[in-house]
Each structure stands twice: as C-alpha cells, then as structure tokens.
Structure 1
Amino acid sequence: MIVMEKWPVLGRHERAAEWLRIWTDLGRAAEWLRIWTDLGRAPRTIDAYARGLAEFLESCERHDVDPLAATRAQVAVFVRELTTRPSRRGVNVVALDSGAGLANATLQQRLVPVRLFYDFLIEEGLRESNPVGRGAYTPGRRFRAGQGSRPLVPRMVKLPWIPSDAEWLQLLAVFRDEPIRNRVMLALAYDAALRREELCSLRTDDLDPAHRTLRVRAETTKTRRERVVPYSAPTGLLLAEYLRHRAMLSRARGLLFLSESRRNHGEPLSLWTWSKVVRRIALTAGVPRFSTHTTRHLCLTDLARTGWEVHAIATFAGHRSTDSTLRYIHLSGRDLAAKLNSSMAQIHAWRVGTLAEANSPGTTEDSA
C-alpha cells in the first residue's frame, strides 16, 4: 500500500494499518465497495488521514505511549508538539511572525484522523471512550446533548482574505504578460467562482459558448453537487482565443487546459502546475497571500456587495449550506453598512429635529 511506504510508522501499528485498509481497500466486499464509493473518499483525503495518524503514532513512539491506551492528556502532548514545532513555511503561522506551529485549520485536519481512529477502536470493542473528543462549546452554557466534550483545539473561524483594488490591479498587470491559457484560467476562476480542482478538471464538452455557461461536474466538486454557471462576455473572448490555440496542441476532446511544457506537452494540466503558476505570479506582483482559491473568495464577495441574496450566492457557489455563504455576506460588509446607514439616518433626523426646535421663534423667546 502506497501510504504504508510513505508513512512506515503505520505498518508498525496493527490497528492503525487495519483502520486505513478499511478506508482504502474497497475490494473486500460489494457492500463495502458501495458504502465507501457513495462516501466518495478521494485519494488526497486518504493521504491526509494517513499523514495525521502517522504523526500521532510517531509522537506516541517518542513518548513511549501505547496508542490503544492513550489518554486525553497524552493526545494533548501531540497537539502541543504541532503548535510549537518549527514551521516549514516560516513566519506568520500561529501568530504574526511566530515562525512556529501549524495553522488552526491544519491542526483540525491533523486531529480528524486521530479521532476517527479512536472511533474505530471503540467500535471494535478495544476502547470505551475517545480521548480526542468532539463538541461545540459556548462559554457560560452546558455542552449540547450528543456533542461530547469540549474539543482539544478550539476552532477559529476567520473571514477569507481578498485583495484590495490596488493589489488586484497589481496582479492583473502581471497576468497581462502571461500566455493565453493562464489568462483565461484566471478569468474563469473569478467569473465562475471555481475551486482549483473544478477549474483544472473542466472538459471541452463542459462549455456552452452559445449561452456563455459551463457545467461543473459533481465528481470534481467538494460537495459533489453539479451546477451550471455563467461567464462574462470578455471571458468568452479569451476562451475563444484559447480554444483556437488549444487546437494547435491537440484536437482531441477531453480536459480543457493542457500543458505546454517540453516534458508534458499536450498532456492535461495538473493541479500542482496551476498552483505553481499562481504562486509565481503572486510573488512577482508583490501580493504573496494571493492563491488559487482567492478568486473564488473575491467573486462571491463581489456578488454579496452587489446585492445578491444568500441563497442565490449559495447556488452559484455550490455550497451545501448557506452557513458557508454567510461568510461572504459578512466579508462584504453589506448588512453592517445597511444597518449603519439606517441608524445614522435616524440619528441625523433626530439631530436635525432638535436643531430645528432650538432655532424656532418660540424656543428663542423662552431662552431669552
């Protein structure tokens, strides 16, 4: 198994290996195949689970802890290591200029497979409780029924970062000198609020130039929900130019965006290649926080700013729940601006009224 080769520590722990085999070996029986296929566990999900569990088992080995008998305190030691170890990305991880630890979202990702592993041990009758725990805790209130105990790591919910208008112009200035493929990919990523995998997985038959729409297939989306989204006329012109260029690389139908490198000429463009392109452009433009997902954040925020309703934005974005969509409403400041304007209008009317009363003849005589 590839994950065993990548993370040898998993092979040294029988139960961990068994748990991972359940998630990856779909050939055990037709029922298992149907269940896990329906769940749609992607290879990258399995790899993320393997990484998180391997790092936990390595921590157990360092501290001479039996993973099957680990306590909440011993899992907390693992969390402490994650939050204090030097970061490969350097500064600006846990706190500004700290240069240590993992981001909160990454900590949560590392703990998910550990929690699932202990759920598996409970189901197998090897443990009575899960030391990782789960639950939603509100200060001053009890834990909600069925939600378990307070989570080991509080979940921080941050608003997405979007570039300022000046930063966006800096990025566009660099993109103007890019090949037509990169320019149309940026345009579609913004216009249709596409995730990286949705963009790179577009096929030639997903396009409908007559109606300027494209189909985002369910198997390429995070939520497994197919949707049809429009794109603008300027993007349509770029796309038509790219399709003429693509015909010189390959006339075969299939994935829309192709590599033009010597090594992979005419082959489908990979997710990692697109990430490298965006990273290079972001650094050149002096906007290092810009990523392949920023265009999606920016598009949805702009839709909120222009007055789109929450449900319409959720449908456009392919969100399963409007809870995700509300982040962009908050980020746009639309609701707060409306409330502020309404409040200021009332305050302004009150002040004008008091000024009028103060300057009326009757008030002046009384004051005299």
Structure 2
Amino acid sequence: MEERWISLFLDAQAADVGAARNTLLAYGRDLKDFLSWLERRGGSFATADRAAVEDYLIFCDAQGLSKATRARRLVSIRQFYRFLHDEGLREDNPAIRLKGPGTDKRLPGTLSIDEVDRLLDSARDRGRGDTLQVRNRCLLELLYATGMRVSELVGLPIAAARGDPQMLLVRGKGGKERLVPLSPPAREALIAWLERRDADEAEADSKFLFPGRGATGHLTREYFFRLIQQIAADAGIAPSRVTPHTLRHAFATHLLAGGADLRAIQLMLGHADIGTVEIYTHVLDEQLKNLVLNHHPLAKD
C-alpha cells in the first residue's frame, strides 16, 4: 500500500500540476527515504503523526544533510500528505504546520563579462573539426544570450530555431512556455550551426537542434557539463568556477548591472517567484563592495 501511495501521488503531480521529471524523481527519492525510516521504527505513512515527521527531520539533520536538502524533503512530505488528505486516504495532515529549516543564503557564482568573452572565444576552437566548433560556439552563445537552463538548451526542438527567429520559444519546468530574445551574436551562431547540422545526413532528420546518440536523442546535460569544463580550462578559467548554471547566473547578473528590470529578468529566466531573482541584486552589492575594498586608496588595512 505504501509504495502504491507514492505512485498515485507522483502520477497526480505529473498529470495535475505538470511537475517536471527531475521534480518527480526528487519527490520519489525523498518519500522512499522517509518510508524506509518509518518502517525501521515499525511505522508507516498511514500511522505517522506530526512527532514522527519532526523526528525524521531531526534524523536528517544528524546525518549531516544540508538545510536545502532538509527543506526539500519537508516540502516532499508536505505535498504528499496534502495529496493523501485531499484524496481521503488520511483523515489528517501531520505535516501541515511544520516549519522547515530554511536554506543557506549563498550567493550564486558568476563570471565577469571579460571571462564570458574568453569562454565564447574558446568555444570556437573546442572540438574536432569545424562542425563541432560551430556547434559548441552556438551552445554557449545561446546559453549566455537567453539564460536558459541546461536541460532546456540541450532539449531544444529544431522547430524552435527555424526561420531565423529573433526569439526562441522555450519549454521550462512544469511544461511552462516562455519567449526569450536572441542577441545578434547568438542568431549568427545559430544560423551557422543550422547550416552545418542540416548538411549532415545523420543529424538532419533529428527533431532536436542539438542531436545526440543517446536514448534521449539529444545532447545530454552530463556531456555539456564536461564540454563547458574543457572550454573553461582552454580559456584559462578554473573549471571549478564554470558550470552551465554559472552562465545562467552571468546572464541575469550582467542584465541587472546594465539596468534591466527585475520583472523582465524573472520572465526570461522562467522563475515563478520574483524573490528568487532578487538574489542577483545581492551579487551586485557584493561585487561593488569587493571593488571598493580592493581598489579604494583608503581601504587598505
């Protein structure tokens, strides 16, 4: 019964809420871990009360799990018990008023404009042969120009790129669609890649802009992560500082520094809550503080 409840919950999240695959996987892992903990103590989803949920969170803390992980697990449990209550499978919701541990407020890592330029220059030379170099340049130009998530980038359908578009239609988390504008360099890189891609018989029939040989039919996130690390090393930038998400942060930070409106950045990033975007204002504050401390003549210790 317990496993069946998890399956019913995940099916409902996929059908009614349109939860993304990664979100469903996270829910499933969290709930199975909670169930395993309950069963070791002779409990179950049906019998767990508020004290059991609180004890589980204390257990997670003792295991050394981060605040972010513990907060996510509580969200999974809350959503799960809300579903059970709504469906009449539980008469009460033992997690309804529990407060999470919060999350550590860490500023996202980002890159300077000069470092992004070096990455883009390096991408033009990374890859065996001209075709891969053109593709790699297109990947990075699109990522920096749009702030897309890496899963959105590698999974772009070819139909979205046809006709020399000035904007791309991106399908994000939960199947939500948004339009993101393309900069002139990104459009130029896209046109160049389409010419190479369409000339390759093995890739011309693919429904994806960036075909791959794996089960998904497109480049994987893991492949692109390794690629961008190599490009960073070629550009003389520590690979530990550069991930696909770093370029998404750079996109938002550089737009904000250039005077863009927070609401516009929120729409382009595909965030539901503007509070998520406001962290980039703190990134700029930190950069300005470091600028003064490192370069002001009276700031020397």
TM bin (shorter chain)? 0.7 to 0.9
Q: Tell me, yes or no, if the aligned pair for 1:189 and 1:296 is still in contact at 8 Å.
A: yes
- What secondary structure sits across from 1:215 in the alignment? strand
2:53 is matched with 75
Which has the higher relative contact order, 1 or 2, with Cα contacts under 8 A spaced 6 or more apart? 2
Q: Distance in 2 between matches of 1:120 and 1:212?
A: 42
Q: How big is each residue's C-alpha offset from its partner over 1:69-96, in whole Å with a ceiling of 9 and x where there is no partner?
A: 33444334433443444xxxxxxxxxxx
Q: How does 1:257-296 map to 2 (within 5 A)?
A: 257-259=210-212, 264=214, 267-279=217-229, 281=231, 285-296=237-248
Q: Shift of residue 289 of structure 1?
A: 4.0
In 2, distance between residues paired with 1:73 and 1:185?
Answer: 49
Q: Is the 8 A contact 1:19 1:120 kept in 2?
A: no
The answer to whether structure 1 residue 102 and structure 2 residue 65 are counterparts is yes
Gaps of 5+ in 2: 127-132, 293-301
Question: Whole-Å Cα distance in 1 between the matches of residues 139 and 282 of structure 2?
Answer: 27
Distance 1:197 1:265 in 2: 15
Cα distance in 2 between the residues matched to 1:76 and 1:175? 49
Going from structure 1 to structure 2, the CA distance change for 1:276 and 1:63 (only over 3 Å counts) comes to: farther
Count matched residues: 279
Is the Cα–Cα contact under 8 Å of residues 51 and 110 in structure 1 kept in the other structure? no
How far the C-alpha of 1:40 sits from its partner, in A, is: 1.0
Deviation at 1:318, TM superposition (A): 3.0
C-alpha change, 1:293 and 1:56, in structure 2 (3 Å) is same
User: Which whole-Å CA distance do the structure 1 matches of 2:115 and 2:101 have between them?
Assistant: 34
TM-score (normalised: structure 2):
0.76
CA shift for structure 1 position 221 = 0.8
Matches within 5 A, 1:135-174: 148-149=97-98, 151-164=99-112, 168=116, 171-172=119-120
Q: Percent identity?
A: 29
Amino acid at match of 1:48: A
Give the equivalent residue in structure 2 for 1:252. Answer: 205
Of Structure 1 and Structure 2, which has the larger fraction of its residues in helix? 2
Which of 294, 303, 309 does residue 255 from structure 2 map onto?
Answer: 303
Cα 1:73–1:258, aligned 2, differ >3 Å: closer, same or farther? same
Between the aligned partners of 1:203 and 1:305, the Cα distance in structure 2 is 31
Give the aligned partner of residue 188 of structure 1.
142
TM-score norm. by structure 1 comes to 0.64
Give the alignment partner of residue 266 of structure 2, picking from 294, 310, 314: 314
The structure number with the bigger radius of gyration is 1
Q: How far is the alpha carbon of 1:166 from its aligned partner?
A: 6.9
C-alpha distance in 2 between matches for 1:21 and 1:199? 30
Secondary structure of the 1:68 match is coil
The 3-state SS of whatever aligns with 1:191 is helix
Q: Does residue 238 of the first structure (1) align with residue 162 of the second (2)?
A: no
Shift in alpha-carbon separation, 1:169–1:62, aligned structure 2, 3 A: farther
Residues 232 and 239, structure 2, Cα contact 8 Å, conserved in 1? yes
